[in-house]
């Protein structure tokens, strides 16, 4: 909080609730959801600090070798990171773009080349929710293509609109 906030004591954690009652002091640090932090930041009521998962050591790891960083615990790492980058004047957006691009290239190849009988867990165990969704979409497209290609006896019928 950048200044005292009256009647917002309910935002404080329970341990601090007793101390602050209905008011929050200017020096208090709170963890707020993004939907609440964004309007408060635009109105200069709060200052925003990045969570630990976006610190400089994580950015260094992402720049060094993004494909080996295990992000399965932070399922919305890129989604939240993009929101934070849009709120702050920071190089976080560039680091996230570099990391996602490199990880995307690394996940497309296995998604399009894994056969139905192989386990996909080794390819998906380090991915975020969005990356898993992309991987599974590519994997399903490959399976559908292989199933279509193997159908040799099926005759393709012309559309009813063409037959008119």
pLDDT exceeds cutoff 50 at 160: yes
Residue 20 confidence (pLDDT): 46
Report DSSP state, residue 27: T
What is the residue extent of each domain of the chain?
1-47, 50-164
Is the pTM here over 0.95, yes or no? no
Write out pLDDT tens, residues 120-146: 777 788 888 888 899 889 888 888 888
Q: How far apart are CA 132 and CA 68, in angstroms?
A: 15
Cβ atoms 108, 136 nearer than 8 A: no
CA Rg value for the chain: 24
Q: Is 58 left (phi over 0), alpha (psi -120 to 50) or beta?
A: alpha
Q: Over range 147-151, report the average pLDDT.
A: 81
Topology of 50-164 in CATH? Answer: Methane Monooxygenase Hydroxylase; Chain G, domain 1 (1.20.58)
* Span 78-89, pLDDT tens digits: 888 888 888 887
């Amino acid at each position: 909080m950048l200044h005292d906030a009256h009647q917002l004591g309910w935002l404080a954690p329970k341990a601090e609730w007793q101390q602050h009652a209905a008011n929050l002091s200017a020096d208090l640090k709170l963890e707020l959801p993004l939907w609440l932090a964004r309007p408060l930041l635009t109105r200069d009521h709060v200052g925003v600090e990045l969570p630990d998962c976006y610190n400089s050591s994580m950015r260094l790891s992402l720049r060094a070798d993004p494909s080996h960083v295990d992000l399965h615990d932070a399922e919305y790492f890129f989604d939240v990171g993009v929101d934070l980058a849009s709120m702050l004047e920071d190089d976080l957006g560039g680091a996230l773009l570099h990391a996602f691009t490199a990880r995307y290239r690394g996940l497309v190849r296995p998604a399009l080349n894994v056969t139905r009988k192989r386990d996909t867990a080794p390819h998906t165990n380090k991915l975020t929710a969005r990356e898993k969704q992309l991987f599974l979409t590519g994997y399903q497209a490959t399976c559908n293509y292989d199933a279509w290609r193997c159908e040799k006896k099926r005759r393709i019928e012309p559309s009813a609109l063409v037959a008119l």
